[in-house]
Amino acid sequence: MRLYHSALYERWPRIILIMIICFLGINTIFAILYWLDRGAFEVNDKVQVTSFENAFYMSVHTLSTVGYGSVAPAANSVYLNLCVMLESVVGMVTVTIITGIAWSKFARPRAHIHFSSNIIISTYYGHRCLMFRAANTRHSGDVHENFFRIGVILSNRKTGLRQVYDVPLVTPEWPSIKLPATLIHIIDIHSPFYRFNSIEDLSSARVALIALMTGLDTTFAENVYARKMYFWDDFAFDQQFADFATISSDGIHVNFKYFDQLVPFTWQEQDEHEHKGQLGQKLGWQFL
């Protein structure tokens, strides 16, 4: 089971490379076994090759179950036919495993959610806010009923203990993220980020933040998950995300080139007495 789960999350180039190595390795092992009784080959090709080449070709024919062509085991060789029987079983099992892994990787739904490279901490409407972006990068299909949550991990250098805090978001639930979403956490006195004012402060506490997303994939009708880890050097203070969406009569155009781009913070007219609920409503539409 461990091998199966590792293969599911492995990248295709590495999977293909492992398959090629296993194919060549198994054929080489059985070619050596066939070569030990190389006098029992039945060769129908006039082209002369070495006995080990004949053994290797016969191993490929046997493992792939394509049938024998120019080379085959002699009918009176018990040793070669026993090796053929064993390799046939190995070949069927190998093909079954490869087929199962390939089908599982193709059929497994994925969220295809891209999180912003950085998290920013800036002041909006008189409140310090923590913000990051998330977007669905799939061109077909959509993810509905999206729920986001973030947790922060703080380390105490004196005791060496790590503490995990659940950090509330202004709008944790999104019906759809066909348009990229900006997730916002308001930093108040109850926030674990209240005492951090610089990268050095975050580094001293060894801050790590994990962003989680769950949603319903409309193509497969199954739940999908996505996550992203941020560390203290991924935070940016007094910055803001560049504008990446253009709204016109033709629709909404999103330029992902600017999705991760940060620009210097532009001070806005802010009401220091802004109610927290009203702030959430403003932030909700402003950063879509």
Q: What is the CATH number of the domain that holds 180?
A: 2.60.40.1400
- 273 belongs to a structural domain: no
Residue 21: the pLDDT is 93
- Whether the CB-CB separation of 228 and 210 falls below 8 Å is answered with yes
Q: Checking DSSP bridges between strand 208-217 and strand 143-155, what pairing results, if any? A: antiparallel
Residue 49: the pLDDT is 54
Residue ranges for the chain with pLDDT beneath 50: 269-277, 281, 284-288
The answer on 260 and 124 residing in a single domain is yes
Residue 284: the pLDDT is 47
Could you say which of 83, 107, 131 is where a domain stops?
Answer: 107
- 271 belongs to a structural domain: no
Note the helical H segments in 117-235. Answer: 199-204
- Whether the CB-CB separation of 192 and 165 falls below 8 Å is answered with yes
The answer on 152 and 81 residing in a single domain is no
Domain of residue 30 covers 1-107
- 281 belongs to a structural domain: no
Residue 235: the pLDDT is 93
The answer on 171 and 142 residing in a single domain is yes
Residue 267: the pLDDT is 60
Residue 162: the pLDDT is 82
Residue 237's alpha-carbon distances to 118, 264, 265, in angstroms, are 10, 10, 9
Separation CA 77–CA 60 (nearest Å) = 19
Q: How many domains does the chain have?
A: 2
pTM beyond 0.75: the answer is: no
DSSP 267: P
- 276 belongs to a structural domain: no
- 171 belongs to a structural domain: yes
Residue 48: the pLDDT is 54
Residue 210: the pLDDT is 92
The answer on 71 and 23 residing in a single domain is yes
Residue 253: strand, helix, or coil: strand
Question: What is the b/e burial string over 143-177, where b = at least 16 CB atoms within 10 angstroms of the residue's CB?
Answer: beebebebebbbeeeeeeeeeeeebebbbeebeeb
Q: Which helix (H) or strand (E) holds 42?
A: strand 41-43
Other C-beta atoms closer than 10 Å to the C-beta of 239 total 18
- 283 belongs to a structural domain: no
- 287 belongs to a structural domain: no
Separation CA 118–CA 178 (nearest Å) = 21
The answer on 249 and 119 residing in a single domain is yes
- 197 belongs to a structural domain: yes
Residue 106: the pLDDT is 81
Residue 272: the pLDDT is 46
Closest CA to 130 of 177, 175, 174, 165: 165
Residue 28: the pLDDT is 93
